[in-house]
Amino acid sequence: MISNNKTTILALILFVILLWAGNFISIAYLVKEMDVFTALTLRLAFVSLLLSPFLKNLPSFRDLSFLFLAAIAIVPGHFGLLFLSILNTSSVGGVSVLIQLAIPFSIIFAWIIFKDKPSPLRITGLTISFFGIVFLLYDPSLLDSRDAFIMAIASALCLGIYFNIVKKIKNVKSISVIAWTSLLGVPMMYIIMLFNNNTFSSVLEIKDSLTIWAFFYTVIASSIIGHGIWAYLVKTQDISFISPFLLLVPIVAVILSTFTLGEEITFRFIIVSSVIIFGIFLVFISRNSQNNLKD
């Protein structure tokens, strides 16, 4: 089984990391020409449409309740605040760093809710990596707005909550989780769109074809493929094992933004990134107090 194959699990995790790092770049292009909440409403609508075959079986009341809570956490919570954060800063790398606070949030919640207690070596690796993120954050070039700072942290909190809610959904396939949360999230985001006086007319004013490509990247690569794989990983693996790998996202995002947005890679970034990767290596070789990979 895939869930028992450590190499396959690692490959899936790294693939998601690449997709989500690229998503920060796509959002940076997207919000230049589209209203934030219009882009999010359309994104969810397209995801729901593309995944409509996975909506034919109505979940149980219990699972539907958790899907609704997951939609609140991921749609207006994580996605909404993430888009606003990127809109309010010129530093995509800075936002990608702060979003990684979702990792300690998710592990703390998993420890409390699922008794998913990480092993000492895993805690050590997480601590090393997390302090690397903190040092990376103190690079003054990474973030230039207090509002973006606060929104990114709130977005990370919502993402950590979402990871744990998904684990409570027992009888819904991973891809169906994405389909249902997107469908339930459309009216939520549409109301927020109207409240903020955003309209669909901004779509007609798009001039750069990169904006269109960025939109479909967020729909297909990030939402359907990325979140679909991650939902599977959350449902089958210990959160304390898979979450620390997300600390690689800002490293990849900053590297990508250097080539696409002209952001600078400093020697400090290279050193701190090496420390983060070392911490993640400790997490990968560690054994959980129960099992590293679940049966």
pLDDT at 293: 44
| Triad 221, 59, 171: Cα angle to 5° | 75
How far CA 70 is from CA of 12, 57, 65, in Å, comes to 22, 18, 9
Q: Which residue has the tokens 């990979």?
A: 293
Contact 91, 141 (CB under 8 A): yes
pLDDT over 90 (residue 190): yes
Going by the DSSP 8-state scheme, the letter that residue 99 receives in this structure is G
Q: Where are the domains of the chain?
A: 2-115+145-265
Lowest mean pLDDT among 35-44, 72-81, 196-205: 196-205
15 φ, ψ (degrees, to nearest 5): -65, -45
- DSSP, collapsed to helix, strand or coil, labels residue 75 as helix
pLDDT in tens, 130-177: 787 677 666 555 555 677 778 888 998 999 899 899 888 988 988 999
Global pTM reads 0.75
Q: Which of 31-40, 84-93, 176-185, 203-212 has the highest mean pLDDT?
A: 176-185
Contact 3, 293 (CB under 8 A): yes
* Cα gap 148→190, rounded to integer Å: 22
Angle between the N-to-C axes of helices 36-50 and 6-33, in degrees from 0 to 180, rounded to the nearest 10: 140
pLDDT at 70: 95
pLDDT at 137: 64
When computed from its CA atoms, the radius of gyration of the chain, rounded to whole angstroms, is 18
